């Protein structure tokens, strides 16, 4: 199906779900989270590329592979302004904090150019309770203008 969709990109191997979400906007940042977290950048209807990060489950598994002492589920109640005081908070802060920092940095760069940043799913599910610089757009893929496919 991906070859049937008109989409201006040089990205090799871009999944159809990411294509359809990106086609929804002309310019901005699109963030989708699942098994992996993808961050795609659009400008003037052209896909500029993006990033793929491990999803929360993969990051949690990674910590457990480092040491059994780090084999914990993340807490979504981290406060990035306060240093962690235990192992669960420390791995949560490390894992979730690096994802949030990357998203915030990318969003700020493109916000200067007047582009918005969108989550395709509720960020509280994978990044915790704090409000983020990006806006939630549920079912972004389904909101695509399908007559342009």
Question: Which residues are catalytically annotated?
Answer: 17
DSSP code string of 83-122: ---SHHHHHHHHHHHHHHHHHHHHHHHHHTTT-EEEESS-
Long-range contacts, 11-14 (Cβ 8 Å, 24+): 11/47, 11/49, 11/50, 14/40, 14/47
Pair of tokens at residue 26: 């002309």
Residues 67 and 12: their CA atoms lie apart, in Å, by 36
Smallest CA-to-CA distance from 128 within 61, 66, 58, 73 is with 73
């Amino acid at each position: 199906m991906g070859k049937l969709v008109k989409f201006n990109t040089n990205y090799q191997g871009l999944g159809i779900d990411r294509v359809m979400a990106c086609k929804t906007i002309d310019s901005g940042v699109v963030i989708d989270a699942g098994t992996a977290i993808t961050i795609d950048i659009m400008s003037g209807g052209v896909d500029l590329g993006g990033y793929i990060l491990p999803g929360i489950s993969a990051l949690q598994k990674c910590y457990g592979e480092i040491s059994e002492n780090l084999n914990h589920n993340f807490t979504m109640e981290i406060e990035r302004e306060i240093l962690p005081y235990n192992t669960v908070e420390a791995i949560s802060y490390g894992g979730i904090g690096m994802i949030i920092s990357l998203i915030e940095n990318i969003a700020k760069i493109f916000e200067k150019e007047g582009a918005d940043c969108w989550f395709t799913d509720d960020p509280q599910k994978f990044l915790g309770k704090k409000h983020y610089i990006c806006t939630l757009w549920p079912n972004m893929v389904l909101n695509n203008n399908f007559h342009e496919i």
